[in-house]
């Protein structure tokens, strides 16, 4: 079944014709089709002025006119970007193929043969106006969605630690902190945060919701409101993660979940204690003594039931030494799963060398060369959201 | 991702091939329909020919598990290897889903 006809009562039509009888009879025909807002012009030059003044939704344009003919007027219209999409229906007594093709070459949308047949005329006018209406609706909708997505994106970015805050925390705890965050579409499902717990302890969280786009982004907002509900100060990372898991299980539909790393760095005891829920393996680097070949770098075990999948999930704490000069590198799975044509994805096992290479290029801020190298080998836009966090204790 | 199914009475086996990822969500409905097939008591998801699974793919396994559970169908994920096995192990899905080698 055809869709119900759109109302054309709010459409404006400009009739350009040097013959008064033609102007009147065309107006009569389209008035019957429900269009009452009609303006007239007697040649192409007047027509161009009328387009700017009257802002029609459609022009019915005669070809043969004095001063400026229809083809010339249409070409002038199309040179003006504002009127690129304005439908122009030629009405022409010319019936040779060449002359009719000329109407399209001049930028016309279609033509009606003279003498005007009322039924055909209304049908073609209606067709052009409906097309324009649908196109405008779509363009407006697209514009609105873009606007809302960019607001949402700003909101999402505001959940993450700002540069200034990173610098503050880095200074307070004697750290080097660098972070990178990029979403695959306007919105993403990654989230990370830093949580000072007194003068010598710092919490570090990285969460990656399954999927990306709007659903995943909404989950990061959910998470953000949940985090404050569970104080980190006196909980082991595993307990804290279990609480977060239970809360997420209550709000997430089946099939939506998150991988997570939550660690607490204790500067007084040089210890990193963390619990993980299936995040990619974090990289830990420990400085070796004088004469060593750079730091000892290892991938940490981060297996764990993803957050929000089961109320019964249990998490395990692991502790490692993280002395001065040591570092921790966290990242979401885009780093190891996104690749390009020439190079496949990096893969989990290659991450230690990837870090070594970054350190060789910039010993203090290796995240920057690491990201450069990642983007050099990866197709854009990314298929998944990328978060990478570099935390090193100053020597 | 592509899949084929083998039904033998009470058991339905679905073989997944290629990559199971975010873009496959629309096809999940077709697999869920197989779980809903009357008479099915065991539902095997064979992954030996699956090359890659992302987190959205893991989510699909969780959805299938819940669909199976709610219909008293026993679901088994079988034969994952390589990166697919690694992802399933990392996410500890064996705590929720029956995983067989």
| Residue A1 banded pLDDT, cuts 50, 70, 90 | very low
pLDDT at A2 over 60: no
Radius of gyration, alpha carbons of chain A: 33
Enumerate chain B positions whose Cβ falls within 8 A of a Cβ in A.
21-22, 54-56, 58-60, 62-63, 66, 83, 86, 89-93, 95-96
Calpha distance A209→A156 (Å, rounded): 14
Calpha distance A62→A73 (Å, rounded): 10
Calpha distance A122→A109 (Å, rounded): 15
Q: Do B92 and A304 count as a contact with CB atoms less than 8 A apart?
A: yes
Enumerate chain A positions whose Cβ falls within 8 A of a Cβ in B.
208-212, 254-257, 259, 278, 280, 302-306, 309-310, 312-313, 333, 337, 347-348, 383-384
Other beta carbons within 10 Å of A219: 24
State what percent of residues in chain A have pLDDT above 90. Answer: 72
CA distance A383 to chain B (A): 9
Residue A342 token pair: 């020439």
pLDDT at A142: 94
Q: Which residues pair with A203 in a beta bridge?
A: A195, A264
Q: How far is CA A292 from CA A271, A281, A296, A391, in A?
A: 22, 24, 9, 21
**pLDDT tens digit sequence for A269-320:** 999 999 999 999 999 999 987 666 789 999 999 999 999 999 889 999 999 9
**pLDDT tens digit sequence for A108-144:** 999 888 888 889 899 999 999 999 889 889 999 999 9
**What is the mean predicted confidence (pLDDT) over A173-193?**
92
**What is the mean predicted confidence (pLDDT) over A235-241?**
97
**pLDDT tens digit sequence for A149-169:** 999 989 999 999 999 999 999
Q: Do B22 and A212 count as a contact with CB atoms less than 8 A apart?
A: yes
**What is the mean predicted confidence (pLDDT) over A36-51?**
94
Residue B30 token pair: 């077709």
End-to-end CA distance of chain A: 75
Q: Where are the alpha helices (DSSP H) in B1-101?
A: 25-36, 55-70, 82-90
| Residue A54 banded pLDDT, cuts 50, 70, 90 | very high
**pLDDT tens digit sequence for A327-368:** 999 999 999 988 888 888 999 999 999 999 999 999 999 999
Largest CA distance in chain A: 100
CA of B64: which chain A residue's CA is closest? Answer: A255
CA of B92: which chain A residue's CA is closest? Answer: A305
Q: Note if the pTM is more than 0.90.
A: no
Whether this model's ipTM surpasses 0.90 comes out as no
**pLDDT tens digit sequence for B34-77:** 888 888 899 999 999 999 998 889 989 999 999 999 999 999 99
Question: Which residues in chain B have Cβ-Cβ distances shorter than 8 Å to A307?
Answer: none
């Amino acid at each position: 079944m055809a869709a119900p006809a759109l109302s054309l009562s709010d459409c404006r039509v400009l009739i350009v014709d040097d013959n008064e009888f033609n102007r009147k009879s065309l107006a009569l025909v389209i008035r019957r089709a429900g269009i009452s807002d009609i303006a007239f012009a007697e040649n192409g030059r007047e027509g161009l002025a009328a387009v700017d003044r009257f802002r029609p939704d459609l022009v019915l344009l005669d070809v043969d006119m004095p001063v400026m003919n229809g083809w010339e007027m249409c070409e002038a219209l199309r040179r003006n970007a504002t009127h690129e999409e304005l439908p122009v229906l030629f009405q022409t007594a010319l019936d040779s193929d060449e002359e009719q093709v000329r109407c399209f070459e001049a930028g016309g949308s279609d033509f009606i043969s003279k003498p005007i047949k009322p039924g055909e005329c209304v049908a073609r006018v209606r067709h052009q106006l409906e097309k324009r209406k649908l196109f405008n609706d779509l363009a407006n909708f697209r514009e609105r969605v873009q606007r809302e997505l960019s607001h949402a994106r700003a909101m999402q970015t505001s959940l993450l630690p700002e540069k200034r805050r990173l610098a503050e925390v880095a200074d307070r705890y004697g750290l080097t902190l660098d972070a990178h965050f990029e979403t695959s579409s306007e919105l993403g499902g990654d989230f990370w945060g830093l949580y000072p717990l007194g003068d010598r302890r710092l919490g570090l969280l990285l969460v990656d919701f399954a999927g990306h786009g709007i659903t995943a982004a909404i989950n990061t907002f959910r998470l953000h409101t949940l985090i404050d509900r569970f104080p980190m100060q006196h909980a082991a990372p595993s307990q804290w993660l279990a609480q977060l898991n239970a809360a997420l299980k209550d709000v997430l539909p089946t099939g939506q979940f998150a991988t997570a790393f939550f660690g607490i760095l204790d500067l007084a005891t040089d210890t990193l204690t963390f619990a993980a829920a299936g995040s990619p393996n974090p990289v830990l680097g420990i400085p070796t003594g004088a004469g060593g070949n750079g730091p000892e770098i290892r991938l940490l075990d981060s297996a764990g039931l993803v957050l929000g999948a089961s109320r019964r999930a249990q998490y395990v704490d692991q502790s490692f030494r993280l002395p001065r000069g040591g570092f921790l590198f966290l990242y979401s799975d885009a780093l190891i799963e996104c690749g390009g044509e020439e190079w496949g994805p990096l893969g989990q096992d290659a991450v230690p060398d990837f870090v070594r290479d970054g350190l060789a290029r910039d010993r203090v801020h290796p995240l920057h060369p690491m990201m450069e190298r990642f983007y050099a080998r990866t197709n854009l836009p990314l298929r998944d959201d990328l978060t990478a966090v570099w935390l090193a204790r100053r020597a | 991702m592509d899949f084929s199914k083998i039904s033998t009475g009470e058991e339905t086996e679905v073989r997944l091939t290629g990559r199971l990822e975010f873009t496959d969500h629309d096809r999940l409905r077709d697999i869920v329909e197989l779980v809903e097939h009357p008479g099915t008591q065991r539902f095997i998801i064979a992954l030996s020919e699956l090359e890659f699974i992302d987190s959205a793919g893991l989510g699909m396994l969780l959805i299938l598990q819940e669909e199976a559970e709610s219909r008293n169908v026993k679901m088994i994920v079988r034969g994952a290897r390589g990166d697919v096995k690694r992802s399933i192990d990392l996410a500890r899905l064996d705590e929720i889903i029956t995983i067989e080698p």
